[in-house]
Structure 1
Amino acid sequence: MQEDIRQDIIIGSRRFSNYFWTIILFIGGLGFLLAGFSSYFKINLLPFANPTSLTFIPQGLVMTFYGTLSLAISLYILATLVWDIGSGYNEYNKLESLVKVVRRGFPGKNREILLTYPFTNIRSIGIKISEGLNPQRTVYLCLKDERKIPLTPVQQPSTISNLEEEAADLAKFLDLKLENL
């Protein structure tokens, strides 16, 4: 029974890099915001610097803008961490002849994203490897209507051998051919 169902867990936004950038952006943004307020009110709000000597226009205003922007981005990343955006699983069910791709989205009526594909609509398992400044190594579910559904999570690219092994195992499990995209 268990050998007929395979489930791959997908980690969403709860990765170390997102925690790291949330903390860094929050601390930096708070520092810039306090420096901008210090230059406006002429009261030192920072214990390690004296931004009261800055003129508010333009330096203090720019620091306030950057601080506000940085805090907003850190709060956005924090919200994606709390809601765990992008997490879910891929389920390959031979008993029902279905592939289910389940992901979490932003809160609302479409919070849970569920895509189901019958085996009869699946053409192959595809691998796409692109190197360069933004390398991408992705396994796709290739459908007969030429759509390509990504199955791997957004993360640091895994090694080519791991990606090929993962795709080959999946193609063997689903009894599909493996193709290079």
Structure 2
Amino acid sequence: MKDPVESVHALLRAAGETVATAESLTGGRLAALLTGVPGASDVYVGGVVTYATELKASLLGVPERVIEEHGVVSSECAQAMAAGVRALTGATYGVATTGVAGPAEQEGKPAGTVFVGIAGPDLVAAVALELRGRRGQIQDRTCREALSSFEQVLRREETPLG
């Protein structure tokens, strides 16, 4: 079975597309995985770590309404972050991570509550995850789940409907 990072790179390269990341709880780990592959610059344009709520709004354009009504640990915020990094960088796709790595809860949500946002030309979606483990395990698992979800999106988009 091919490594999801390599699969994502191959699918993006074959389609002539790019990706950018917006990370909160993963703190740059997703970007590190995507840039750890030779030839990463062909498909990865960059990313931002918006750990502070204020940066989600100011850098990524997450609407204040989303933050007030849903919080930063939400599918709505993950989607807005993904769309925001896509707009900021000009990448074909944006992939975002937000959630609670722990050990304490945030916004009344327990550690392991995570949302992955994916935005593309014809898509803005989020995947909700409930992960278990220590802080680093939750961060690593979030990255793996984000890559797996993004790979599924790319595979669906390469298959013509009809």
The structure with the largest alpha-carbon Rg is: 1
Under a length normalisation based on structure 2, what TM-score does the superposition of the two structures give? Answer: 0.25
Higher relative contact order (CA 8 A, sep 6+): 2
Query: TM-score normalised to the size of structure 1?
Result: 0.23
